[in-house]
Amino acid sequence: MSTETTQAATGTETTTEFDLVLRGERILTTAGITAREVGVKDGKIVAIEPLGNNLRGERVIEVGADEVLLPGLVDTHVHVNEPGRTEWEGFESATKAAAAGGVTTIVDMPLNSIPPTVNLQALEIKREAASTKAYVNVGFWGGAIPGNKKDLRELHDAGVFGFKCFLLHSGVDEFPSLTVEEMEEDMEELKSFDSLMIVHAEDSHAIDRAPDAEGDQYERFLKSRPRGAENVAIAQVIERARWTGARAHVLHLSSSDALAMIKSAKADGVKLTVETCPHYLTLLAEEIPNGATAYKCCPPIREASNRELLWKGLEEGVIDCIVSDHSPSTIDLKEVENGDFGVAWGGVASLQLGLPLIWSEAKQRGIGLEQVISWMSTKPAELAGLKNKGAIALGNDADFALFAPDEAFVVDVKKLHHKNPICPYEGKTLAGVIRSAMVGGVDVDFQTPKGKLIRRGEA
């Protein structure tokens, strides 16, 4: 366990150089996990030196022998839903869950709030809702929907990190989908000011022709969202990005079939990045009980062979990062009593559990913690253009997580911070415990919100 001391000033002459010093045998810096001392001043990392240099700080934290000091995780795919659907999730509950999971920065999706973040007025409403409730740093994606092309540049200038679109019904009527042609037109617009289009890539025509998902059989639900629907849509994203020269990002990759064309597109110089999520990397379709709607998400959790190929895609760099796609709802909308996959809301609530989930699986595969943090902190920060986050490095923001990688715990959904106590990981034993988190060199105390609202280009 970490310990803390305070070095007070003597007389009129201070003996401290830093606001905060963290030191220990296992500090994850850009040089790997090594013995270091980290000096923090005004919320920034201003010194990284070998352990034993005895940096002096007003506050000193000795990282425990069983702990690793990590850069705070960056989660660029979180549905907070406030305002409008705050009974599903809100900024207070979501950012507490983030902090408890070692996530010190989230980027909020433009839906399922009301209004969705599709114009400047809606962005200001969203920021106002978050302004007094953020326990971690919060940024915002804008939305690309039919008819709001004129709003994209204004939202970009106001600091959104890019724009999300759907190629099929989003699940909520106030955020309509784009046709592929409309997406291409918006990509041309985004290219003019070097913004990013992030895409929910499932083809509406393929899904319209798939079997119905009604009932409590998970296999039937899986057939209603076939891999082919993802593959077709991802191919369209790739070609439109190729033709326009715009930057594009594929959200929540589930189909491993798409990896070959993604790899080829990247080799061709298409400006393409790809994410996947903990549920696709840790859960298996074969093990989902019928009626267990806590597991329902779109695109769906697929089979064991598919999961293995997603891990291979990560290790080969075809998939860039791992983010939560935390998309909660009220328990009644998950149709828990009826177990009807055709009716239940599609979304997994897992914001607090991402690192233990991935670490539990990665360590069994011989994948080091450094690589996991690259996927869950460094790469998402790069995706959003957060140049001062995602690594313990000089000049970066002092966002940290203290992680005990060898400690285990059993998931108790009632102890998680997200608003509605439902989660597919209930009762699972996971490796790795987040002991604490810091934002800008200040402890997240779960009492006073101290997170900042961040903007593209400023963070």
d(CA 406, CA 5): 25
Picking from 6-15, 151-160, 230-239, which range would have the lowest pLDDT averaged per residue? 6-15
Return the residue matching tokens 């309509």: 176
d(CA 266, CA 346): 30
Quote the tokens at residue 140: 């915002």
Residue 1 has pLDDT above 90, yes or no: no
DSSP structural state of residue 326: B
What is the per-residue pLDDT across 236-252, written as a single tens digit (0 to 9) for each? Answer: 999 999 999 999 999 99
Report the pLDDT averaged over residues 418-443.
98
DSSP 291-325: T-GGG--SSPP--HHHHHHHHHHHHTTSS-EE---
Residue 14 has pLDDT above 60, yes or no: no
DSSP structural state of residue 257: G
Neighbours of 5 (CB within 10 A): 10
Question: For domain 18-65, which architecture applies?
Answer: Roll (2.30)
Distances (CA, A) of 34 to 37, 302, 325: 10, 38, 32
At 388, the amino acid letter reads N
Task: Quote the percentage of the chain above a pLDDT of 90.
Answer: 96
Quote the tokens at residue 102: 């070692």
Whether residue 69 contacts residue 400, with contact meaning beta carbons closer than 8 Å, is answered with yes
At 296, the amino acid letter reads K
CA torsion sign for 300, 301, 307, 310 is positive
pTM over 0.95: yes
The pLDDT of residue 418 is 97
Residue 423 has pLDDT above 90, yes or no: yes
Whether residue 246 contacts residue 272, with contact meaning beta carbons closer than 8 Å, is answered with no
Neighbours of 382 (CB within 10 A): 19
The pLDDT of residue 398 is 98
The pLDDT of residue 9 is 40
Whether residue 24 contacts residue 30, with contact meaning beta carbons closer than 8 Å, is answered with no
The pLDDT of residue 456 is 95
pLDDT band at 11 (very low <50, low <70, confident <90, very high): very low
Distance of CA 27 to the CA centre of its chain: 23
The pLDDT of residue 457 is 83
The pLDDT of residue 10 is 36
The pLDDT of residue 363 is 97
The pLDDT of residue 7 is 65
What is the per-residue pLDDT across 283-302, written as a single tens digit (0 to 9) for each? Answer: 999 999 999 999 999 999 99
Report the pLDDT averaged over residues 26-30.
97
Whether residue 360 contacts residue 322, with contact meaning beta carbons closer than 8 Å, is answered with no
pLDDT band at 459 (very low <50, low <70, confident <90, very high): low
Whether residue 69 contacts residue 27, with contact meaning beta carbons closer than 8 Å, is answered with yes
- The torsion angle over the Cα atoms of residues 240, 243, 248 and 251, rounded to 10 degrees, is 30
d(CA 246, CA 271): 7
The pLDDT of residue 112 is 95
The pLDDT of residue 172 is 97
d(CA 36, CA 26): 7
The pLDDT of residue 98 is 98
Please provide the average confidence, as pLDDT, over all residues in the chain. Answer: 96
Fold of 72-389+408-422: TIM Barrel (3.20.20)
d(CA 371, CA 376): 9
What is the per-residue pLDDT across 312-369, written as a single tens digit (0 to 9) for each? Answer: 999 999 999 999 999 999 999 999 999 999 999 999 999 999 999 999 999 999 999 9
Please list the residue range(s) of the chain that carry CATH number 2.30.40.10. Answer: 18-65
What is the per-residue pLDDT across 362-398, written as a single tens digit (0 to 9) for each? Answer: 999 999 999 999 999 999 999 999 999 999 999 999 9
Please list the residue range(s) of the chain that carry CATH number 3.20.20.140. Answer: 72-389+408-422
The pLDDT of residue 15 is 57
At 93, the amino acid letter reads S
d(CA 264, CA 285): 28
d(CA 291, CA 77): 26
At 411, the amino acid letter reads V
Residue 8 has pLDDT above 70, yes or no: no
Q: What is the 3-state secondary structure (H, E, C) of 396-451?
A: CECCEEEEEEEEEEECCHHHCCCCCCCCCCCCCEEEEEEEEEEECCEECCCCCCCC
Report residue 61: phi and psi, to 5°. Answer: -115, 120
d(CA 208, CA 168): 10
453: which strand partners? 138
Neighbours of 366 (CB within 10 A): 6
The pLDDT of residue 177 is 98
